[in-house]
Amino acid sequence: MAQKVLSQVAINASELHAELKRIKDRDKDLGFRAQKSLDHLEALGVLSAEKAKELFEKLAKLEVPRLRDIHFHKIVDVLPVTAKDVKVALQGYNVTVSQESCKKIADLVAEFVE
């Protein structure tokens, strides 16, 4: 019997880390790929789930034209602190963001980076 995908929702690395830890606590063990993913995320040192959610919400409130949830998740993952870094983080998407908006995003992200 083939498995069926019920829905797909974009999440960022911080949310994935929290979800994998929750599953590990519940099941006491993770599968090989899930454990490798958790190890990788812990090595990266992602934001806490609470801080990531707060940053995501603040990015959405900036109301940058043409940016959607998937773009905000990428920004939360990469944490660009300069306008140039924001442009680089978003270059894989077919979206154009003004220099002014990139600066606003970078300034906001800088508040969350330690």
pLDDT at 9: 87
What is the three-class DSSP state of 84? helix
Q: Over the range 77-89, which residues count as b (16 or more CB within 10 Å of their CB) and which as e?
A: bbbbbebebbbeb
- The count of other CB atoms within 10 Å of the CB of residue 2 is 3
**What value does the mean pLDDT take over residues 87-94?**
92
The better pLDDT of the pair 4, 114 is held by 4
Instruction: Check residue 3 and give its pLDDT.
Output: 85
Q: DSSP secondary-structure letter at 48?
A: P
| pLDDT higher than 90, residue 99 | yes
In angstroms, the CA 61 to CA 53 distance is 12
Q: Which amino acid is at 8?
A: Q
**CB 11, CB 35: distance < 8 Å:** no
pLDDT over threshold 80, residue 1: no
User: What are 45-83's pLDDT values in tens digits?
Assistant: 888 999 999 999 999 999 899 999 999 999 999 999 999
pLDDT of 22 above 90: yes
pLDDT at 114 over 80: no
What is the three-state SS of 42-84? HHHCCCCHHHHHHHHHHHHHCCCCCCCHHHHHHHHHHCCCCHH
Give the pLDDT confidence score for residue 2 in this predicted structure.
84
